[in-house]
Amino acid sequence: MVKRVASLAVILFLASAVIYMSIPAKVRAVSGDAAAAGLEVHKKHCLKCHGPEGKGDGPAGKLLKTKPADWSDKAKLSKISDDELFKIILKGGEAAGKSKLMPAFEEKLSEQDIHNVIAFIRSLQK
Ligand code: HEC
What tens digit of pLDDT does each residue of 89-125 get? Answer: 999 999 999 999 999 999 999 999 999 999 999 999 8
Stated pTM of the model: 0.81
Eight-class DSSP state of 98: S
Domain 31-123 has CATH 3.40.50.150: no
Is the minimum distance from the CB of 88 to ligand 1 under 6 angstroms? yes
Atom of ligand 1 nearest to the CA of 118: 35
Which residue's CA is the nearest one to ligand 1's atom 36?
46
Which residue's CA is the nearest one to ligand 1's atom 32?
89
Count, residues in the chain: 126
Spell out the alpha helix ranges (H) of 22-110.
25-28, 33-41, 47-50, 74-77, 82-91
Domains of the chain: which residue ranges? 31-123
